Chain A
Amino acid sequence: MIKPGKNFIIRQILHSYVSWIVKHHFHDLKFDPVEIDPNKSVLLIANHFSFWDSLILFIVCRKLVKKSFYVMAREDTTVKFQYVKYGGAFSINKQSRDMLQSLDYAAELLNDPQNLVLIFPQGKLYSNFVNTMQFEKGITRIMEKAEGKFQLLFAATFVQYLKHKRPTATVYLKAEPSFGKSLEDLKNAYQMHYDNAKLQQTEIVI
């Protein structure tokens, strides 16, 4: 398992670089205002359709949540792009025994109220056009281990061009105050938010 790198200078450089490329690539980045509990860490659950979504959520974290950003990434990605660990990425490998270690590490991070952990429960890249989200099992282990210490936040991201040359990214955020423990409950709660977000996206007519 690869742990996040702690290098203040590289992290700052990455911050500025990510802000710059997101500003450069997107016409606009929209997100809903949600209230963040200062005494709890944040577990952010999001759909995964591109490399951009961690970068987009990184910016959202900086602007809105204002906590230290950590993201669970696939091991091959973390190995290929070594620098992402300085941006807060830690690795998980589904095929190896390390997996439990990674999940426990995520739970550990959630014990500190200053942290935000981003997890893509889909486990790999899917199309932006999926209707139902797949959830891998590991997420429940994290939630059990860190029970009561974190605030659960759902994010559904959509990218659209419409009348602009550059795309607009819209992140629909929702704080989920009460949630069940089982995977099925979590999945249903997320699905409801995702469907709602998608509906709002498709209603746009210009």
Chain B
Amino acid sequence: MIPQRSNRLIKKLFAPYLAYRLRKAFKVLKHDEIEVLPGHSILLLCNHFSWWDGFFAGHLAHNYLKRDFFIMMQEDHLQKRMFFSRVGGFSINQKSKEVVMSLQYAAHLLDNPNNLVTVFPQGALESNHIDEINIERGIDYIVKKIKGDCQIIYYSAFIEYFESLKPSVYFRFLNCGTNRDFDFERLKAMINEHHKKALKEQVNAEH
């Protein structure tokens, strides 16, 4: 497992670059409002459909949710771009025995209320058009291992073009409660219901 090796300076320097890249590639990043609980770390779950997802999560963590950003990445992807471990990336390899270590590592990061850990619960890249979000069991393991207070937030992101040649991204947040009242099956049902509803609302999105 590759641990994260970030430091404040690199993250500070990376943030404007990230903002620049997103500004260049996208027209607007639109998100709705969500109540962030003070004194809680955040486990951020989201749908995984593109190369950009980590950047989106980083952007939201930095600018909106105001937490220190960490992200769980596939080991082979992180090995190819080791720089990402400098901005909060740590690895997971679903096929190796170390998978538990990665999950514990994520839980450990979440003990600190200033941190935010992004995990793609699907565990794979899937289409942006799917209506079922598959949630791997690892999420259950992470949440149960967290010792501090942690809020669980999910968002569905959708890419749309409409009148512009540049795409826009629409984020739809869902508050999934905290680790104190956590139930895996309920989380699964909640996320899937939210995703379906978000897809439906997306069709009527203003543009």
Contact = CB atoms under 8 A, between A and B. Distances in A.
B199 interface: yes
A162 B25 CA distance: 15
B194 to A, nearest CB: 15
**Interface residues of B: mostly helix, strand, loop or mixed?**
loop
Contacts of B50: 160-163
B164 A51 contact: yes
Given A204-B126, A205-B124, A49 B51 contact: no
Give the bracket for the number of chain A residues in contact with chain B: 20 to 34
A49 B203 CA distance: 10
A52 interface: yes
Contact of A162 (B51, B131, B161, B162): B51
Give the bracket for the number of chain B residues in contact with chain A: 20 to 34
A201 B127 contact: yes
A96 interface: no
Contact of A159 (B159, B163, B203, B205): B159
A163 B125 contact: yes
Contacts of A162: 49-51, 125, 127
Contacts of A126: 203
B128 interface: yes
A174 to B, nearest CB: 18
B129 A198 contact: yes
B167 interface: yes
Interface string A105-126: 0000000000000000000011
A178 interface: no
Interface in A134-191: 158-165, 167
Given A127-B205, A167-B167, A161 B129 contact: no
17 contacts: A50-B160, A126-B203, A127-B160, A127-B203, A127-B205, A128-B159, A129-B158, A129-B160, A158-B129, A160-B49, A160-B129, A165-B52, A201-B129, A204-B126, A204-B127, A205-B127, A206-B124
